[in-house]
Structure 1
Amino acid sequence: MRKIRVWDLPTRLFHWSLALLVATAVITQSIGGNAMTWHFRAGYAVLALIAFRLAWGFIGPRYARFASFIYGPSTIVGYVAGGKQALKEKYLGHNPLGSLSVFALLAVVLAQAASGLFSNDDIAYDGPMVKFITKELSDQITWFHKDLNAWLVYGLVALHVAAIVFYRVRKRQNLVRAMITGDQEVDFDAVPADDSWKTRLLALVVLALCAAGVTYLVTLR
């Protein structure tokens, strides 16, 4: 067994920052009142992070790129139906089932953050883009944001946690540790991800551009 760098530092920071911000958004929304100011701020930060991850999925290191974990339907079905044999397959990064989880989480969290821009609470807080649409449409988007998509986020997060527990118990793989250290233990030859300072600097520039874009968007008049 030897350690291979799979998750670059920007990808790891994205993962844990997104988890923290989603938790912050849920807690502040539950508190309400003045805490909603932080709910909106968390949402803006989530939007910037998702934009960064989408860009990083094309220009990031080997295992952060979407191309490294896009699998066809037959591969996914074979992995799910493969039973014990499928569990023996060697994957660096996301396996076929894990890839579905990643894309689903990115999609629903993006939808949640984007819909929040157009939502209102009929009391004191409106999303920054509400002024560009009708009240009726804003109410429909608010329903989607609060009563539909939010539960999809909760469900996918629960499945994500369950998968981590499953891999820890059944396959003796500590996915949490891998996402902290960036390394995965393997017993086969593999090419490590580029986690150099050049890569990290590129990520910082991309994140800054994404943050600037979101700031511009939410301050439009």
Structure 2
Amino acid sequence: MSRVKIWDSFIRIYHWLMVLLIIAQLWTASQGYMEWHQRGAFILAALIVARLIWGFIGSESARFSAFLRGPRAVIEHFRELRDGRHQKETTHNAAGGWSVLLILLALLIQIGTGLFATDDILFDGPLAYLVSDSTQDMLTTIHHLNVYFIFAIVGLHVLAIIGYRLIGIGLTMAMIHGYQTFEDERAHRKAPRLRNGIWGLLIAGVIASALYYFGA
């Protein structure tokens, strides 16, 4: 057995912060704590933008070029799972890569529409004054409906993780400690080059500070 580190600290911290923040955003919105909801949105936006940047300049395993593959690769991945031929990878698998992208896009839509959303009573998004009332209403509707899309994607993501675990492919622990275990002793030869995750966290911190400063 060979143990290979595949995820840097930024990706791991980012992943679990996203889980906590999505839960926090749902709770603050349902309770009417809109100031905290907006602050959480700034942090969420900073993490997403930092993740997008990290997808081009970060660790090899975190780059979009490493895990975004075409439809044929996705189909072949499911065939391998069906036939019991699938091998553990040093990044997201072909299906998981598109799941990650869909979640990012859904959250970007949620944050983008939230900037212009309004409840017509006490709270307006920080950029709501820039658009007409009809546009505010439209974007607010999208903001509310997109929550269900996020539920669906995240739900499928969780079900997939459970499904992989049931067939003997564990994904969760690697996102905690960063390591994946391979049966092939030569796995170290294909270990991804990792960047120091501190840089990703610094990028997110700078973006969050800027968003809070200009949006407060």
- TM-score of the pair, normalised by structure 2: 0.91
Three-state SS of the structure 1 residue aligned to 2:180 is strand
Instruction: Give the gaps of 5 or more residues in structure 2.
Output: none
CA distance in 1, matches of 2:197, 2:43: 19
**Pairing 1:192–2:188 present:** no
**Do the aligned residues in 2 keep the contact of 1:167 with 1:174 (CA within 8 Å)?**
yes
**Do the aligned residues in 1 keep the contact of 2:8 with 2:194 (CA within 8 Å)?**
yes
Structure 1 position 154, deviation (Å)? 0.6
What are the superposed Cα offsets for residues 2-33 of structure 1, whole Å, 9 maximum, x if unpaired? 2110110000000000110010000111112x
Three-state SS of the structure 2 residue aligned to 1:127 is coil
| Residue type of the alignment partner of 1:175 | L
Three-state SS of the structure 1 residue aligned to 2:18 is helix
**Do the aligned residues in 2 keep the contact of 1:80 with 1:86 (CA within 8 Å)?**
no
Residue matched to 2:156? 159
**Do the aligned residues in 2 keep the contact of 1:8 with 1:193 (CA within 8 Å)?**
no
Structure 1 position 195, deviation (Å)? 4.7
| Residue type of the alignment partner of 1:144 | I
Larger deviation, residues 86-95 vs 58-67: 86-95
Structure 1 position 153, deviation (Å)? 0.5
Larger deviation, residues 52-61 vs 82-91: 82-91
Residue matched to 1:72? 70
**Pairing 1:202–2:199 present:** yes
| Residue type of the alignment partner of 2:86 | K
CA distance in 1, matches of 2:182, 2:17: 27
| Residue type of the alignment partner of 2:125 | G
Three-state SS of the structure 2 residue aligned to 1:25 is helix
Instruction: Give the gaps of 5 or more residues in structure 1.
Output: none
CA distance in 2, matches of 1:112, 1:130: 14
Distance 1:13 1:143, change over 3 A: same
CA distance in 2, matches of 1:29, 1:204: 26
Residue matched to 2:175? 179
Residue matched to 1:20? 20
How is 1:118-137 mapped onto 2 (pairs within 5 angstroms)? 118-137=116-135
What are the superposed Cα offsets for residues 135-163 of structure 1, whole Å, 9 maximum, x if unpaired? 110110000001x2111101111111101
Three-state SS of the structure 2 residue aligned to 1:185 is strand
| Residue type of the alignment partner of 2:56 | F
RMSD, aligned α-carbons: 1.8
Q: Could you tell me the percent identity over the aligned residues?
A: 33
CA distance in 2, matches of 1:87, 1:38: 47
What are the superposed Cα offsets for residues 122-147 of structure 1, whole Å, 9 maximum, x if unpaired? 1101100101111110110000001x
Three-state SS of the structure 2 residue aligned to 1:71 is coil
Choose between structure 1 and 2 for higher RCO, CA contacts under 8 A separated by at least 6 residues.
Answer: 2
What are the superposed Cα offsets for residues 105-130 of structure 1, whole Å, 9 maximum, x if unpaired? 01001111111111001110110010
What are the superposed Cα offsets for residues 181-214 of structure 1, whole Å, 9 maximum, x if unpaired? 0001112324334456xx2332233223322442
Larger deviation, residues 201-210 vs 45-54: 201-210
CA distance in 2, matches of 1:45, 1:8: 20
- TM-score of the pair, normalised by structure 1: 0.89
